[in-house]
Amino acid sequence: MNTLEILKDRKPEMKSWMDTMHKNPELSMKEENTAKYIVDTLKSFGGFEIAEGVGKYGIVAPLKNGDSEKSIGLRADFDALPIEEENDLPYKSTVAGNAHLCGHDAHTTMLLGAAKYLSETKNFNGTVRFFFQPGEETMEGAPAMIADGLFERFPVDSVYGMHNMPGLELGKFYFNTGKFMAAVDNWEIEITGKGSHGSMPELGIDPIVCGSSLVMALQTIVSRNVSPWRTSVVNVGAFQSGIAGNAVPQKAILRLSIRNMDPEDRKMVLDKVRLITKTQAESFNCEVEIREGIPGTVLVNTNEETHWAAKVAKETFGEENVFTDAHPYMGSEDFAFMLEKKKGNYCMLGNGDTFMVHHPKYVFNQDLLPVGARYWVALVENYLKKTVQK
């Protein structure tokens, strides 16, 4: 029986791990119980020296075999989203307003499956370090783990990540070198006006009118300042203000997701957001505060490591199941911060024709659990090849 067949036989166990995490989602940097569940699962395998609390809730599980000094890092994320799930699943989220609608529970499950298999077979010579990361959705987790000495305390030669992707062929792997995902800047804008009764708007200063004008003005940044041959996005994903229809509210909150593939474009776009926000607020006699999130960075796959990982995937799954010319995504990943520190690759695994990640009806195809685990095993066994005894 080959490795993939063995892992397919273990799908019910892997599914139980994912189901448990899916039922009990926790938001970014609040994943205390999820982290404990991952640690307890790793402990049940045996053979790991587990480090907890790396960057708050991050987990590192090194597994060493043989005498080689080579090392490889594999990373999975485990935070959920503040979105209400609309699926009728036996393992549906039990937490109102929170759900694993990006597949991070599946990413962690696939890495756990590989960890268990490798701890049993030990068909490698060197050290594999399993990185379980919190806070990907808010871009906090990877920087927090790095700041906590991730690569100094747990050195690796290179590091690898993977994400499921709806719209790509089910079970197939997608690679590309160079810029692969955009830098994201998550900002919050608070507009303060002056509350009033809705029948006397002249006595108030309406932050909703100001915010509405600002939303439209922000849409001119990319359309009129970024070349059509380049890529940027300014998205206002939340506009929150007021409760009653017969009142002028005091404040409005806008939450933005700003994405760029080019550092020069990023600087220009962010400067334009600051300027337009300031001038729009002034024109409506409102006060404004911009709260800038963690500065984003572009995810860049290194050439040698990407070609090698794709080669391993082809040897493992067949050339017809691996694409090496995947188009870049305007989505973002804080794994980009790890790739700033270490060589490596981030690839996509097709989830088939399903709702997109972050959609209330997104569902991860659990048939992929053994496939993702097999990919991780293949990387480790190929990178840390055992010395042939003569």
pLDDT at 379 exceeding the cut of 60 = yes
Domain final position from 292, 316, 343 = 292
Span 102-145, pLDDT tens digits? 999 999 999 999 999 999 999 999 999 999 999 999 999 999 99
> CB neighbours of 88 closer than 8 A, spacing ≥ 6?
none
Query: Do 111 and 79 share a structural domain?
Result: yes
Residue 39 has phi, psi (to 5 degrees) of: -60, -45
Residue 373 counted as domain residue: yes
Say yes or no to pLDDT of 388 above 50: no
* 389 part of a folded domain: no
CA distance 77 to 349: 15
The verdict on 372 and 241 lying in the same domain is no
The model's pTM is 0.93
Q: What is the pLDDT of residue 387?
A: 58
Are 312 and 163 within one domain? yes
pLDDT per residue over 359-376, tens digit each?
999 999 999 999 999 999
Give residue-wise pLDDT tens across range 5-52: 999 999 999 999 999 999 999 999 999 999 999 999 999 999 899 999
The residue segments making up the domain with residue 97 are 3-181+298-383
The predicted structure's pLDDT at residue 390: 34
Task: Express each pLDDT in 52-111 by its tens digit.
Answer: 999 999 999 999 999 999 999 999 999 999 999 999 999 999 999 999 999 999 999 999
Bridge-based pairing state of the strands 158-165 and 343-350: parallel
- Is a pLDDT exceeding 90 seen at residue 186? yes
Residues 41 and 165 in one domain: yes
When pLDDT is cut at 50, 70 and 90, the band that residue 389 belongs to is: very low
Model pLDDT, residue 59 = 98
Name the percent of the chain lying above pLDDT 90: 97
User: For 161-176, how does the pLDDT look when each residue is reduced to its tens digit (9 = 90+)?
Assistant: 999 999 999 999 999 9
Instruction: Indicate the SS3 state at residue 373.
Output: helix
| Domain total in the chain | 2
Residue 285 belongs to a domain with what CATH number? 3.30.70.360
Name the domain boundary from 239, 267, 292: 292
Q: Let me know whether 202 and 287 are in one domain.
A: yes
Q: Is the pLDDT at 237 greater than 60, yes or no? A: yes
